[in-house]
Chains A and B, each alone.
Chain A
């Protein structure tokens, strides 16, 4: 046959087994199983999977009740909608695998991350973990084993414990600062920590002005929050965005935009407060709520200082420049933050001059080096303007589970009933600032250097030796991609003798391990009640498919390793999964209609308990367990003026003496000795008890070799990491539909691009003093000139010869810098950008990291 006829046949004959033919055979309706979208994005949304012949055919969203703004369906975002492509991805890990050149002691460690993989049996894999645990313990002690969490930690704790680490995670400096100054408070009289300081979504509709400071819920909190904000907008509120990026949320809601430089928020807010002080006139132009300041706060002026503190330490004198000769005026701040003097004053007048303002910030501005006093500065502005404790007036964070909707949970799950197994060596979880009982807990930003140098900072003038020889990673932890200083991280793990990782995919931490154990997803087993999304709903997923290939549940792995170590496996899995489900169901509570108390959520019958295979008592609740399990969700029905609203600090504002908050003074602390002592005790850098500005390391000012003459330095552009819809943390990075929808582009302003001869779509190299990435340039005027950004969490693909990461992991550019309370500094970083000589293959054409092909995916 000639070549031409071959071509014609190729083009014009349609194969019988085409996608179209397959599509036509797909069922439309049938067996819908509620499944969870379980990742750490801050939301929880309802999904159902259509299961046919043991496969998930497609998903649908929340159809458990009609949709309305007050009682909305819990609709999943682009990531949740792509989850079939994650759970059933061709690159799901199928078998236990060992790095080919690993041997006890490590073998050729430099091959980590690029060695060949060898499929091994589960017996071989488990024996390998056990012999390494024993070898390291015998030779070096439990202090040489590192594990941060997951089921396997129960086994290791029982085996004598391990070293742990802590970090400020997504909270940034809100983690240590918020509670000390009084903004993350426990609601008086409540059984629950609210950890929010903003009102609920219904009350937010009463605000006249909403200030979104560094907050882009459309990208950072997908799911319902943006929908809630739209209702606030429809109710008449004006929205101001303060952000280096003209975000999708600003495009949706914004009436005004202040393109502040990253890491200079603190300078801007000080100048807003200075303007308020300059222009306030209690009679003719009241901008400051002196009554609130005087009654509810300490430290603002010399007349309202905490007991035993020098009056000269007051905050007002600092703002006015009476201490250092530098008033924190709009003129002072303008050249730092990049907002003009007139505009700063305009912003101040609007915040001070509007009656009902919601001052909202995400955690992002607090994720810089030297951010420790930023939350306090933010709170102080709220206090000056009096935007706290009344309807439509709130000051605080709108992030993660609390995005756009504050308050205690209206419905929550019971505990799983697992017996806690203490860690004799390290801390159980985040013990920020060192563990009080002397256990080993390494600050996250020093983890890599602790492995490399054998010591870490444990407090002021205190270092501690540590000798980590092996790391055990469980759950979905992918810390080698998510921590600052990625390059140093690789160097550190290549120094270990053994690293094992439970994983669903060959993400970065798995890639650099010696042994990878394939684990099941939450679609492959029944699940517990989950209440870690918004305050109005609880979810429960059911098993949709059988475990894929040879993957096992994390708890099975923990138990099997425990058995081989001769440990009590009944303690490791102290409650079976069915029993945990029963526990979480029977303990689930829902708010009573009067909003004053809680009542059991579920009616559980003898039959339910038998079906579960659990032991327990029957009980009466609001809805039958069976109905809940079928729907997969229970959501509290809301309406305006219902009894479930929340106005934080309401009682406190009325009578701060009768309803004190949990700070040392019982008031909001504009002067906070407790905070200064805590931060200064951490051992890195020092702060004052009031919110004084400190230049961030690798902030805007540091982009100049000479600030006075404004001479730019080697790394003249600012860089920060954004939440990007491609991923939740580092999760979902491999999902091909998301790679296509949200390519990992490098955002740069038109002027900066032109200056460097870069055009939209060109391949660029961005480099900092910590590392270099190559990516496709997304040239846009939506980002402020002088500022660049990229989504956080990509899985690095190192070109070791040219020392560049081709996948664009933001932490290749960031450094493992420690300041203040050990805050993660993802948003303070300096780079230079140049055109790269080669073209980059688009993300969606990159082959998946499929190690062993299977018929299932052909």
Chain B
């Protein structure tokens, strides 16, 4: 029996400028509301400043970016945890969520180390990247790939991608590739191995008492 096909993404992290054109093109193509991001861009930065005679000087200050969608893993951890068997892997290796079976329980998003399955609001099924299945049927690239202003993204059969770009599948701050066998090949940024830290902005509590929002705009009812 021949091996099943596995499609995947390629990212040149050395070229990625973190501009989020891919994330936004994805939102436009798939009509995603605020809060639902099938593709996300993370900044990884570190380094420090030290006093050297009269001056503060940077020491190993670096930054690079990774754009990450569903990794269409060979061992997708989202799949076995789904209580309604809504998640499947198709012949191309693409991981799908069937919106008609999904009941929006969010187990898959808890299981996924990449935060790929997205929860919109109560009553909506989970959703995530399907590598623009509809565009692929008409021989077009996924929207993110064609949107990249620095041509850092590619896609294709994983065997071809490995041949073309190597076999790195994880760099900080992504999880170890051995965990899920992700289908994304990465060319690491030249500063990938520098010591650093990863900081995530704390989520504000939108309902908190002390939260400040904009002024209410007033209008006369028609």
Contact = CB atoms under 8 A, between A and B. Distances in A.
A238 interface: no
Contacts of B37: 740
A301 B204 CA distance: 61
Interface in B10-63: 14-15, 17-21, 23-25, 27-35, 37, 41, 45-49, 52-58, 61-63
Q: Most B CB atoms within 10 A — which of A22, A81, A797?
A: A81
A361 B147 CA distance: 28
Interface stretch (B87-95, B122-130, B160-168, B170-178): B122-130
Given A841-B211, A841-B213, A67 B151 contact: yes
Contacts of B147: 61, 75-76, 81
Contacts of B135: 28
A602 B125 CA distance: 51
Given A60-B143, A840-B204, A19 B214 contact: no
Interface stretch (B1-9, B72-80, B102-110, B179-187): B102-110
Interface residues of B, number: 82
Q: Most A CB atoms within 10 A — which of B45, B63, B206?
A: B63
Contacts of B205: 839
Interface string A64-94: 0001000000011110011011000000000
A707 interface: no
B120 interface: yes
Contacts of A251: 17, 62-65, 189, 191
Contacts of A781: 45-49, 58, 61
Q: Most A CB atoms within 10 A — which of B32, B100, B134, B201?
A: B201
B54 A335 contact: yes
Interface residues of A, number: 103
Given A339-B55, A852-B222, A63 B146 contact: yes
B213 A847 contact: yes
Contacts of B210: 837-839
B204 A78 contact: no
A378 B46 CA distance: 32
A468 interface: no
A259 interface: yes
A844 interface: yes
Contacts of B14: 252
A774 interface: yes
A751 interface: yes
Contact of B219 (A84, A116, A230): A116
A117 B21 contact: no
A114 B215 contact: yes
A844 B56 contact: no
Contacts of A782: 45, 61, 63
B34 A740 contact: yes
Contacts of A799: 212, 215
B143 to A, nearest CB: 7
A611 interface: no
A506 B214 CA distance: 13
Interface string A456-475: 00000000000000000000
B146 A61 contact: yes
B120 A19 contact: yes
B31 A23 contact: yes
Given A116-B219, A223-B149, A845-B206, A20 B125 contact: yes
A544 interface: no
A15 interface: yes
Contacts of A338: 55-56
A222 interface: yes
Given A58-B31, A78-B21, A118 B220 contact: yes
A58 B30 CA distance: 8
B134 A847 contact: no
Interface in A739-778: 739-742, 749-751, 760-761, 763, 774, 776, 778
Nearest to A257: B58
Contacts of A850: 217
Interface in B109-144: 120, 122-125, 127, 134-135, 137-138, 143
Interface of B: 14-15, 17-21, 23-25, 27-35, 37, 41, 45-49, 52-58, 61-65, 99-100, 102-105, 120, 122-125, 127, 134-135, 137-138, 143, 146-151, 189, 191, 199, 201-206, 208, 210-215, 217-220, 222
22 contacts: A15-B124, A18-B123, A28-B138, A60-B146, A61-B146, A75-B147, A75-B148, A76-B147, A78-B23, A97-B219, A222-B19, A222-B149, A224-B149, A246-B58, A340-B55, A740-B37, A741-B24, A781-B45, A782-B63, A785-B56, A837-B210, A850-B217
Given A257-B58, A778-B201, 11 more contacts: A116-B218, A227-B149, A252-B14, A259-B58, A338-B56, A736-B34, A749-B49, A750-B49, A786-B56, A839-B211, A852-B222
